[in-house]
Amino acid sequence: MKKIVPITKKWSPGSWMNLPIKQSPSWPPQELDKVVKKLFSFPPLIPINEIEILKKQLKKVAKNKSFILVAGDCAETFSDFNQSLIERKLQIIFKMSLILSYGINKPIIKIARLAGQFAKPRSSLTETIGKVCLPSYMGDAVNDKEFNLKSRSFDPKRLIKAYYHSATTLNVLRSLTDKSIHDIIGKWDNKKILGKNISPLITDIARIERAMHAMSTINDYNNRYRFSKDFFTAHEALLLDYEQALTKSNFDDKWYDTSSHLVWLGYRTGQPDHAHVEFLSGIENPIGIKVGPETSFNDLNQIIKKLNPKNEFGKIILIIRYGVSSIDKCLRQLVKKMIKTNHRVLWMCDPMHGNTYKTNKGFKTRNFKDIKNELKYFFKILKVYNIPPAGVHFELTPENVTECVDESDNIHQSNVHEKYETACDPRLNNNQSLDIAFSINKITGESNG
């Protein structure tokens, strides 16, 4: 009988191309080719040593010595690119991290969904309005949100634009973070927060402000934040042509995706034998894996083995996004099974993506209460199994938008449209972001008490 010799499959930055792929825009091939050639010649966006710095920091998370805050837009847009908005995005993340470190008593690793979060997976490939059916909006790196054929066509030149927007955003972030924490945050506008029903927390903010002030008087220089040491970026590694072009090797022949410090595998692209998992399996970056109600344990098990064959600490972050109605059952089951595998993984909660629904008028929203409650379950369940929670993951903006329903902020299903500005999923606004940070302190305080 003829013996079947298995083909040895060696990873390379382009080996994903031989495999089936989900959520990949059908780009015009010749134009894509030209663009990709250009992208290959571009310099890395993130220096390799910074990716290694994040890896080291994540090892501390594995030892329960630090906590991660991932936050930012669902989808960045080219039109949002301006100094003041980037500055405010940074401020809200730093404010939340200060609140969290005050309550959790650990350093907070700040990772922004910024400088690269330009591509979106979609549950439906097309969108129909009336009798017109067009490709769905897949993020500014792919097409434009406006509903007409020209805007919705997939345009590879947008990848180049995404690169330059990321580079310039990184540049702004680097200059903004080279300051003392006091200067980064500026003045807390407490009057704005008073509108929301969290005014008792104002005293906590005042305490934090006093502590910060004391810190900066004692030792100003050392309290400066340096980009790579304290602040990192992340996005979903969705557009593999783009990610591949920015994947560079160092002298040890190790490969790094220099498009961002951390990249994650989206919920819709988590098939162990498909292209996205293949691509991610060869890079050194830390990797997030979105885990939701439809993620099978067998798939997840295979994915983790493939992405972390050496079972390194801090390499894999499971980003749990079950939704408030499923987390209790699903997370308990998953934890029990994972314990038996000995996989070294970090556990993070994304209480946003499992809680999305549409209002009667067709606006995607999330209930702030559901977000809070999913977090409660997450911390409670991990505590039962003695697993340290690694962090939290939010979609938010410093703007006073009305995208997530929240009685205490006077946002109801009937008025979400009033200031609804997101390019994709509904985000927490400024007040809700501060509120959620205080809530985490309360939840973790209670679960430790």
Please state, in angstroms and rounded to a whole number, the distance separating the CA atoms of residues 15 and 40: 16
- The CB-of-22 to ligand PEP minimum distance in angstroms stands at 11
- The CB-of-233 to Co ion minimum distance in angstroms stands at 16
DSSP state of 44: P
Site string for ligand PEP, 220-259 (x = CB under 6 A): ----------------------------------------
Which of Co ion, ligand PEP, none does residue 108 bind (CB under 5 to 8 Å by kind)?
Answer: none
- The CB-of-74 to Co ion minimum distance in angstroms stands at 3
Q: How many CB atoms lie within 10 A of CB 156?
A: 24
Taking CB under 6 A as the criterion, the residue among 58, 71, 74, 239 binding ligand PEP is: 74
118: contact with ligand PEP by CB under 6 A: no
- The CB-of-369 to ligand PEP minimum distance in angstroms stands at 20
CB of 314 closer than 8 Å to CB of 109:
no
321: contact with ligand PEP by CB under 6 A: yes
Considering only residues 57 to 86 of the shown chain, the ones binding Co ion according to CB under 5 A are 74
- The CB-of-353 to ligand PEP minimum distance in angstroms stands at 4
- The CB-of-120 to Co ion minimum distance in angstroms stands at 7
Please state, in angstroms and rounded to a whole number, the distance separating the CA atoms of residues 90 and 71: 10
* φ/ψ of residue 287, rounded to 5: -130, 135
Q: Among 50-58, 185-193, 243-251, 264-272, which window interacts with ligand PEP (CB under 6 A)?
A: 264-272
- Give 181 or 320: the residue with its C-beta nearer to ligand PEP: 320
Site string for ligand PEP, 379-418 (x = CB under 6 A): ----------------------------------------
Q: Among 55-63, 140-148, 302-310, 420-428, which window interacts with Co ion (CB under 5 A)?
A: 420-428
Question: What DSSP line would sit under 86-112, residue for residue?
Answer: HHHHHHHHHHHHHHHHHHH-S-EEEEE
Where does 146-283 have alpha helices with state H? 149-152, 157-177, 181-185, 190-194, 202-218, 227-230, 240-245, 275-280
95: contact with ligand PEP by CB under 6 A: no
Q: How many CB atoms lie within 10 A of CB 76?
A: 29
Q: Residue 359: left if φ>0, alpha if ψ -120 to 50, beta else—which one?
A: beta
121: contact with ligand PEP by CB under 6 A: yes
- The CB-of-307 to ligand PEP minimum distance in angstroms stands at 16
DSSP state of 152: H
| 3-state DSSP of 343-389 | CCCEEEECCCCCCCEECCCCCEECEHHHHHHHHHHHHHHHHHCCCCE
Sites of contact with Co ion (CB under 5 A): 74, 425
Sites of contact with ligand PEP (CB under 6 A): 74, 121, 266-268, 290, 321, 353, 425
